[in-house]
């Protein structure tokens, strides 16, 4: 079984691409969803987050994600500390996912920051989804109700999509001009054969 990374900057459309692969029968591990679940169920992780941000960061066992985002996107050290707590737990969940899907030809690990955390070393190939910055910002503003400035801050905390694309084995362009589905289908055929 091959482990393929799927990444792209915020608003690039990597979740859309992941959904297409999933509908093709490819097991997809969504790192963000796994992190969210673990942050509300894993006692060790919860305690680490409380230690980092204080007990008021949780209300009725729910993590105040908006408050966490405000803090970490304004303070890179806090972001790094949070990543040091969350990523090992997500890594264990991914190992379990791989074991559960070991009969598959390949699986996808979807995450926005695979390159940022050096996870490409643990994966066989990397797919990067790209889109023009103005389109990415518009998508995130529409999706999250975020401000232009807030989205820009989040983009600045990620490696540029040009750098990601330069490190990728495969690049999918999601610019609303080139059709996305044929690109994914062609890549799926390629990954099944190799």
Mean pLDDT of the chain: 93
Sign of CA dihedral 19, 25, 31, 33: positive
Mean pLDDT of 127-147: 92
pLDDT > 90: percent of the chain: 75
Ramachandran region, residue 48 (left: φ > 0; alpha: ψ -120 to 50; beta: rest): alpha
pLDDT of residue 108: 98
Express each pLDDT in 153-176 by its tens digit: 888 878 888 999 999 999 999 999
pLDDT of residue 145: 87
Mean pLDDT of 122-145: 94
CB atoms within 10 A of CB 33: 14
Residue 71: φ, ψ to 5°: -70, -55
| pTM, full prediction | 0.88
């Amino acid at each position: 079984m091959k482990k393929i990374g799927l990444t792209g900057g915020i608003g690039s459309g990597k979740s859309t691409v992941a959904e297409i692969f999933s509908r093709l029968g490819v097991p997809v591990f969504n790192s963000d969803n796994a992190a969210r679940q673990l942050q509300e169920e894993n006692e060790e992780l919860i305690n680490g987050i409380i230690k980092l941000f204080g007990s008021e960061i949780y209300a009725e066992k729910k993590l105040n994600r908006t408050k966490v985002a405000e803090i970490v996107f304004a303070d890179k050290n806090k972001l790094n500390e949070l990543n040091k707590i969350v990523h090992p737990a997500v890594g264990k969940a991914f190992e379990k996912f791989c074991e559960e899907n070991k009969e598959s030809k390949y699986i996808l690990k979807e995450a926005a920051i695979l390159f940022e955390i050096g996870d490409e070393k643990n994966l066989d190939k990397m797919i990067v989804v790209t889109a023009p910055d103005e389109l990415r910002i518009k998508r995130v503003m529409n999706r999250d109700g975020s401000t232009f400035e807030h989205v820009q801050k989040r983009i600045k905390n990620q490696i540029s999509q040009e750098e990601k694309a330069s490190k990728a084995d495969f690049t999918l362009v999601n610019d609303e001009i080139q059709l996305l589905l044929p690109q994914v289908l062609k890549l799926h055929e390629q990954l099944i054969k190799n």
